[in-house]
A and B are shown apart, each in its own frame.
Chain A
Amino acid sequence: MRHLRAAAAVTLALSVAAGVTGCGGGTSSAGGSNESPKTLTYWASNQGPSIEADKKILTPELKKFEKETGIKVKLEVVPWADLLNRILAATTSGQGPDVLNIGNTWSASLQATGALLPWDDKNFEAIGGRDRFIDSAVASAGKEGEPPAAVPLYSLSYALYYNKKMFADAGITTPPATWEQLVTDGKKLSKDGKWALGAEGANLSNNIHQTFVLGQQHGADFFDAQGKADFTSDGAVAAVKQYVDFMAKDKIIAPGNAEYAQNQSLTDFAKGRTAMVLWQAAATTFAAQGMKPEDWGVAPVPVPSGAPGAGKQTNSMVAGINMAVFKNTKNIDGAKKFVKFMTSDAEQKILCKTYGSIPPVKAAQSDAAFSAPELKVLRDTLATSAAPLPQVPNESQFETAVGTAVKELFADAAAGTPVTTESVKARLEKAQQTMQQ
């Protein structure tokens, strides 16, 4: 019996622990082919209010493509939370879709896997040329100096959304253009249980987007020229501190925002609990939450006051979705045709209008729909004052490490623990050491 029991124990423990250690693996073939030219599989990221809505939006367009080319596109809309892991699994197994959407901040990380088709001049020619796309969007599609790993599909940038009535009630006539003004106005707005600015303190990506822009304004890139982490420079520390201080020192962000990660700050804005949010294309969410378009205004994200220096006028990261092709596709020509179709002027207008994004294709931007006040601010920002997040292979680690540091600093601020230059530096130091190993 003793042996039996011991065997049972080992089997039980192995079974349980196997769940922990189990990982799959495999290899993928070297390059694309045209073995199955009549079909394509497309993983679209969830852009609309739901997966069903996305299917409804995309299906007629895919039918159009099928009619034009005879290629049938099998669509799968993948939720954001699953997308990166699905891509990693597909990369590992070699069993992925032909064409897929990726978040543009992942471009360099996914480029490093070598699984995506590089968009060199020849491939760009197949879809009408690189010059059709705005520069900042192409810059966010892969490492500088290398052919991009993807093609820009939907572009976005940040803007400052403000509640007109709350501003009028506080006697503020124009939205703040500088951070100093934002804090001054913010103190007027933060009273009677209402707050000036919304934040998503527990959302790592959002933390990165905000602190990256502030970092640019303080002359910090978070990575040096060799692509090595540089999180503890004076500029980076100042940027993170400035952002967390909106809650800790200036008291214009509600402490409760420290635990927000599910867009609760937009709900607070729509309900009139906060007067401002920094967001990308928020109009459809506001409308869905019962806010009328005349209730809110939009302005560029503030910049520092004083003489503008290098990077100081940067007020947004280049946000957006790119379209990539798996290198081992069995329908390489069809995949390129599909990318060409989705980035054509006509499709760009249809899709970006529906999703409330800015077309990264220059010619499509001239459509009147993109000149509405909100989209005009986003469009101008994208064209003139947006910078792509660091296009380094370990961008994903950067988002986690620094995003978590900011999350923990917000938690300190919310709990009343002092946030000092030293405490910010210590958190960033820890984040950086994690990256270096």
Chain B
Amino acid sequence: MTAVTTDPKVDKPNGVGSTGTGGARRRLPRIPDRIRQGGLPYLLLLPAVLLELLIHIIPMLIGIVMSFRQLTQFFINNWGGAPWSGLDNYRIAVDFDAPIGEALLHSFLVTCVFTFFAVGLAWLFGITAAIMLQESFRGRGFLRAVFLVPYALPVYAAVITWAFMFQRDNGLVNHVLHDQLGLTDQPSFWLIGDNSIYALIIVSVWKGWPFAFLMLMAGLQNIPRELYEAASIDGAGIWQQIRRITLPSLRPVNQVLVLVLFLWTFNDFNTPYVLFGKSAPENADLISIHIYQSSFVTWNFGSGSAMSVLLLLFLLVVTAVYLFFTSRGRKGADA
């Protein structure tokens, strides 16, 4: 960590005393030196810290307190008076042999599969498009703008349009797959039953890949062209250039990108809620909807909070492990 100079001699070239009065010279009131030396950064951080506390940390702490209470509709009017239930809510959530725990585990596994494919495909499309649009050609600006459209659209409007397109009898998807291309024997269901997970992944990838594209495109701008020219002279083909130059150079971008995409996708609420409503099909029962249902549909806020805390712990652990390994890897690469 870079050391911050705190030597008073350096900071006080005019020999101003620690009282910070400024002597007899006429000046605007000044920040006391002690604060300026050590406290100013913290003072500047204060508004952000206060807002963070107010918007995130305090509600989160309240959520944690709720998870230890038996908070149902009987106590919602005065939730501070809800009886303590100790670890009961947690016990129920992780009792995988009983229906609530079993359903939570199922939903967690569905979310893992969904996240893996949604993030993987969004990244793949993003990097492919970014590489293809790296070279200048006529219409590149237009394509870049078009590719960003899904990212710019309001989520609700976009997902509800997908919901219409996925309708079995009147939707565009079946019209193309069944009526026009004849790929299926009969029109398929996309919003209920087994296919619902595919519908969810398709919409999530459509919504998420432009962000990957944007980030990776920015990352590609920083790779010196000389590297490619030199590699080309040395006889490296396009795949070798991607493997040896592009991907290693994009590593810092990818580290952040994958983490952010993972967290957004794992917690995604809007996409399943708009596609399926408050009760998602079993195959697409993402954990965000599952927790929402436990809390706000069945009015068991204590149990829902406990599930949220478990999810929080999981995401914290995954994030910490991810950052530990990726930063260690980078250190090694830097050395």
- Chain A interfacial positions (CB closer than 8 Å to B): 1-6, 9-28, 85, 88, 91-92, 109-110, 112-115, 201-202, 204, 254-256, 258-259, 261, 393-394, 396-397, 400-401, 403-404, 407-408, 410-412, 414-415, 430, 433-434, 437
Q: Are B305 and A13 in contact (CB under 8 A)?
A: no
How far in angstroms is the closest Cβ of chain B from A437?
Answer: 5
Residues in B lying within 8 Å of A, measured CB to CB = 1, 52, 55-57, 59-60, 62-64, 66, 73-74, 76-81, 92, 98-100, 103, 167-169, 187, 189, 191-194, 259, 263, 267, 277-279, 281-282, 288, 291, 293, 295-301, 305, 308-309, 311-312, 315-316, 319-320, 323, 327
Cβ of B299: which chain A residues have Cβ within 8 Å of it? 88, 109, 394, 396-397
A20-B312, A411-B281, A434-B103 given; A14·B60 CB < 8 A? yes
Q: Which residues of A contact B312 (CB under 8 A)?
A: 17-18, 20-21
CB-based contact A17/B316 at 8 Å: yes
B63 close to A22 (CB less than 8 A): yes
What chain B residues lie within 8 Å of A5 (beta carbons)? 323, 327
23 interchain pairs, CB-CB under 8 A: A11-B52, A16-B263, A17-B315, A18-B56, A18-B60, A21-B60, A21-B63, A23-B59, A23-B301, A25-B79, A27-B78, A91-B77, A115-B77, A201-B192, A204-B278, A255-B168, A256-B169, A261-B277, A394-B298, A394-B299, A401-B298, A414-B189, A434-B103
Q: How far is the CB of A191 from chain B (nearest CB, A)?
A: 17
Check if B76 sits within 8 Å of A18, measured CB to CB.
no
Q: Of the candidates B62, B73, B295, which one forms a contact with A25 in the assembled complex, judged by CB atoms under 8 Å apart?
A: B62
- 8 cross-chain pairs, A with B, having the tightest CB-CB distances, nearest first: A22-B59, A21-B63, A18-B56, A17-B312, A433-B99, A21-B308, A13-B319, A411-B192
Extra contacts, 15 of them, besides A17-B60, A18-B59 (Cβ < 8 A), are A4-B1, A9-B323, A12-B263, A13-B320, A14-B316, A20-B267, A22-B60, A28-B77, A91-B77, A112-B73, A258-B192, A394-B299, A396-B298, A396-B299, A407-B192
* Interchain nearest-CB distance for A208 vs B (Å): 12
SS class, residues of chain B in contact with chain A: helix
CB–CB A259/B1 < 8 A: no
Least CB distance from A17 to B in Å reads: 4
- Name the distance in Å between B206's Cβ and chain A's nearest Cβ: 20
Chain B residues with CB under 8 Å of A433's CB are 98-99
> Which residues of chain B come closer than 8 Å to A254, judged between CB atoms?
169
- Minimum C-beta distance from A252 to chain B (A): 17
* Cα separation A410 to B189 with both chains bound (whole Å): 12
Q: How far is the CA of A256 from the CA of B288 in the complex (A)?
A: 27
Bound-state Cα–Cα, A397 to B279, Å: 12
